[in-house]
Chain A
Amino acid sequence: MSRRVPVASANKEETSFKEALKLYEGKQYKKSIKICEQILKKNSNYAEAYALKALDLYHLKEFEESEAYVGKALAKNPDSPITNHILGILRRQQQNYKDASKYFKKAMASGSTNQAIWRDLSVMELQNRDYKNLTKSRHAYLEAALGYRANWTGLAIAHHLNNDFNAAEKTLVKIEELVKGKLSEAELYENSELELYKNEIIAEVNTQSALKNLESLNTLDKYSELETKGKYLLKLERFEEAQKVYRELLKRNPDDYKYYKFLEVSLKSLNKSKRLRVGLYDKLAKFYPKSDAPKFIPLTFLKSTDEEFEPRLRAYLLSQLKRGAPATFQNVKPLYKDQSKVEVIEKIVLEYLSTLKDLPIEYIWTNYFLSLHYLRQSKLNDALKYVESAIDHTPTIVELYILKARVLKHFGNLEKACETINYGRELDLQDRFINSKTVKYYLRNNNVDRGLEIASIFTKNDTSTNGLKDLHTMQASWFVIENGEAFYRLYKETKDIKFLGLALKRFQGIVKIFEEYYNDQLDFHTFCLRKGTARAYLQMLNWEDSIFTSPIYQRAIKSVSSIYFHISDERLNETEDVYEKLNKKEKIAKIKQAEQDKVKFQAYTDDNDIYGDKLIKVKSLLEEFNGKFFHHLINQGPDLIFTNEIQFQLQYKLKKIALVLGSLNKIIKADEKNVRLPYFALLLKFSDFTDVLSKKLIERGLERFDLKDLKQFVYGYITDDYQSILTLVQIHNLSIEGLQDLKNDILERIKHLEPYEQFELLTLIK
């Protein structure tokens, strides 16, 4: 496409355009626009000026107008390299990295000579995990600037990500040769990191050569050198050398549990006699008397009936109780898998307690220990008794109130638990830990206002009435999710739909936090190349690739799915007026109150949907759920049991039977004894799909289950834990013929649960 413009005038326009670009870079968007307009007045075909104006407008938050100018720029000349570059920048700004990549690529394809675009493009390709094209752009950028080590590292990483280990190694070797003998002091760390990175690549192909290479290195990171060496030696079964490496590592850090394990593997002592192993740990304990591991590990492999067990356990427990370490119980908790050891612990500690009349510190922490010990075994009355003894003795220790509140929570008495922990909080107002714990209790008790009020003592509130914005900005997911769950419970209690919106709003807050976590990687695609920290960088990519499968994210999705399924079942989003049942006066009062409360509930600056109404008042709820919440989990954790449990229910509601069965299969593949399976199977079996195809699919999908005797089928999956009983409740609620008498069994089984769990389940039974 040719533009017939006089050369002289074009030059003048180009000069103006450069000025406009400069103004944009200096964040003077309005002035930049003015010049763009002047250019366009003279030459309405100047596509680049439209593009730049679009970018300026975006920064001025004129989003719609900005898009209009994107359209104009493309209409005038879709092949201009500069236009494409600018539009790439705009899309990147909008975090639309796929389109940004597209425009950057087009810019280079249309003949741009701006080599920096290759770098920008490679960053987009990394962000999009488009590794196939990455090598090309990294290669091109390296060609353009061979003098920077970072560019070589960038290409090596691109090869590595495409599993071309050979090419990656070659690239790293080449630059090593180029810089040999020319390294400055400041470059030594980068060099050291890259030597270890190269070693990691060699190891992908051959352990033997990797070991040889490693032994020739002298890097700054001795931990990595030793840990890697130990790993190679074990893999090559060179145990004698390996044991020495782990002993060296223990000297550096005698508190890392895994070194002891690997030492034993190297010494081949794991299947030797317990006596020998005890002797080994006694030796190690002499070398490292301040370390816990050599003292504790023998307690795990000795049997409770072994003569040595009790005296060793006693020594271990008592030394900690004497010191008054609150976590003594946590330290022996792994032993609680073995009931016979639990009995020995109980005997030792009770005996010890009876000798303690005049030793205040020991007395307090021993009672504290016993309370945790009984709590762990759900003996709540004993748990309460011991923590109260400790409090009676010394009523000023914060930890005791944390524990007492926890016991009360297990009793189901949240009200009292809140009072108790708040009393503890007031003993030490400087401590944020007890403050956070207190907040959590108030939220659990659905006292959202009080929880937030207490949390706000430690937040940066600036001009806000409370710390809600700060907690969101600082990504305090623990608070945001508890807050959301509290709102959801408040809805269930009051049926006030306002709380459903607020709950969704908080859960969306969790999504937002995780999206921030994901987008945070952007700058590091180039930053790490400069630092040379390629190993940490690659770990980061992996970590980001499953960030949305984090337990806390799953926890949010669990509530969100339940809310959306509920709204969809009850068609709550179709009610025009949420307060239709109220009379006019009440309605006005409600609306007024909501307006006043806005400042209290506002989680973000510039939020035009504080109550989350827009999340509910949508046409297609299930699409909203999928598009705003669930898709991240589908992308990153498609095979997780959790994902497929939700997917099953979602697709069931959407009546997409093939997908329903697909998720059922994935659950079975991951865990064929999954406790939720009988519920899902029966839901399908007794569903009311009438079309032939669905019926046929279901029939085939259920073939694998033996459904002759339904009761027998169900109980094949059931144990006596909470999840099992929950499944029984769900099946009971399906009211299936032949399974009507589950209720008595449920009530019987519930008795073995803790009071607060009993209460939760009872409220679910229809």
Chain B
Amino acid sequence: MAITIRRATINDVQAMQNANLHNLPENYQLKYYMYHILSWPQASFVATTTEGPKELDEIETEAELQNIKADPSYISKGEKIVGYVLGKMEDDPEAADKTPHGHVTSLSVMRTYRRQGIAEKLMRQALFALSETFKAEYVSLHVRKSNRAALHLYRDTLKFEVLSIEKSYYQDGEDAYSMKKVLKLDELLPSSFSNADEVDDLESDLLEGLDE
């Protein structure tokens, strides 16, 4: 376990900013993260480590609560942000296309937590939320031309299409792929990508047939 994927809240923004500063050259001031969380509270997600299961009656003492590692990636004891996706709706009044559509501002996963599908899971949640909550008809994003891992994720795994190459999109002069995916809510339920043989019907008794 250790990794939980969940909706981002305002309590996560400092650690998200920290992850971004560690991983990517495109950085933002905290206010921009706040702007995302306070405009579209449902559209951003984080991946965090967890301390492991705690029994419900295990209330932390104040001394323990204060024992958070003084590292900006931690949001509470044992809970460290190792990845995030920052999602939004297009809100530029000048934007050419007036159909409601989403945009992925930034996504990153700490290098030492890669190869376990975290980025895909974060994206699946964001796509689902943009479609369900904000009625986004499609979502767009940009990828550095040199970022092959990201291109693979968006094009091959998540089925984005490459719309065009934008010359010198990034400040350092690198080109970007401009990508887009049309969203259909009934095709986006995150667990439907689990390749499961069985589906929970929500009705049957989960404990039935299990040995005491």
Contacts and interface: CB of A to CB of B under 8 A. Distances in A.
Interface residues of A, number: 101
Q: Is the interface of B mostly helix, strand, loop or mixed?
A: loop
B199 interface: yes
Contacts of B28: 474
Interface stretch (A106-114, A215-223, A414-422): A215-223
Interface residues of B, number: 82
Nearest to B122: A255
Contacts of B55: 270
B2 A279 contact: no
Interface stretch (B31-39, B154-162, B176-184): B31-39
B69 interface: yes
Contact of B113 (A290, A300, A330, A432): A330
A189 interface: yes
Interface centre among B28, B50, B74 (most CB of A within 10 A): B50
Interface in B162-212: 171, 189-191, 193-200, 202, 206-207, 210-212
A300 B116 contact: no
A432 B206 contact: no
A279 B207 CA distance: 8
Contacts of A224: 42
Given A250-B200, A290-B195, A552-B70, A255 B21 contact: no
A533 B7 contact: no
Contacts of A528: 38
Given A256-B5, A292-B3, A552 B72 contact: yes
B194 A478 contact: no
Contacts of A265: 56
Nearest to A265: B56
Nearest to A521: B34
Interface string A499-533: 00000000000000000110011001001100101
A334 B114 contact: no
A289 interface: yes
B30 A517 contact: yes
A270 to B, nearest CB: 8
A507 B156 CA distance: 46
B184 to A, nearest CB: 16
Interface stretch (A318-326, A574-582, A585-593, A740-748): A318-326
Interface string A225-266: 000000000000000000110011011111111100100010
Contacts of A531: 38-39
Contact of B146 (A430, A478, A671): A430
A296 B50 CA distance: 12
A475 B30 contact: yes
Contact of B2 (A286, A330, A399, A458): A330
A524 B2 contact: no
B210 to A, nearest CB: 4
Nearest to A550: B14
B207 A269 contact: yes
Given A323-B115, A458-B25, A253 B5 contact: yes
A334 B30 CA distance: 31
Contacts of B111: 326, 398-399, 431, 433-434
B108 to A, nearest CB: 9
A320 B114 CA distance: 12
Contacts of A475: 17, 29-30
Interface centre among A286, A436, A475, A479 (most CB of B within 10 A): A475
A196 B4 CA distance: 25
B152 interface: no
Contact of A280 (B21, B24, B196, B206): B206
Nearest to A673: B63
B15 to A, nearest CB: 10
B93 interface: no
B133 to A, nearest CB: 5
B32 to A, nearest CB: 10
A334 B52 CA distance: 5
A425 to B, nearest CB: 12
A327 B52 contact: no
Interface in A513-565: 516-517, 520-521, 524, 527-528, 531, 533, 535-537, 539-540, 543, 550-552, 554-555
A254 B22 contact: no
A517 to B, nearest CB: 5
B10 A539 contact: yes
A633 to B, nearest CB: 12
Q: Is the interface of A mostly helix, strand, loop or mixed?
A: helix
A537 B38 contact: yes
A674 interface: yes
A465 interface: no
Given A434-B111, A473-B29, A474-B21, A253 B125 contact: yes
Nearest to A285: B196
B134 interface: yes
A433 B110 contact: yes
A527 B53 contact: no
Interface in B76-120: 82, 110-117
A115 B200 CA distance: 57
Interface centre among B14, B134, B212 (most CB of A within 10 A): B14
A219 B134 CA distance: 11
A520 B34 contact: yes
Contacts of A250: 191, 200
A354 interface: no
B207 A535 contact: no
Given A220-B133, A641-B62, A287 B21 contact: no
Contacts of A324: 115
Contacts of B128: 252
Contacts of A296: 1-2
A295 B1 CA distance: 8
B86 to A, nearest CB: 15
A261 B212 CA distance: 19
Interface in A422-470: 430-434, 436, 458, 460
A253 to B, nearest CB: 6
B202 A253 contact: no
Contact of B21 (A297, A300, A436): A436
Interface of B: 1-7, 9-11, 14, 17-18, 21-25, 27-31, 34, 37-39, 41-42, 49-53, 55-56, 61-63, 66, 68-72, 74, 82, 110-117, 121, 125, 128-129, 132-135, 146, 171, 189-191, 193-200, 202, 206-207, 210-212
Given A295-B1, A326-B114, A671-B63, 10 more contacts: A222-B133, A243-B206, A255-B121, A283-B210, A323-B115, A334-B51, A478-B21, A520-B34, A540-B34, A642-B66
13 contacts: A220-B134, A254-B190, A257-B53, A275-B211, A283-B206, A290-B117, A333-B2, A474-B28, A475-B29, A535-B41, A543-B10, A550-B72, A641-B66
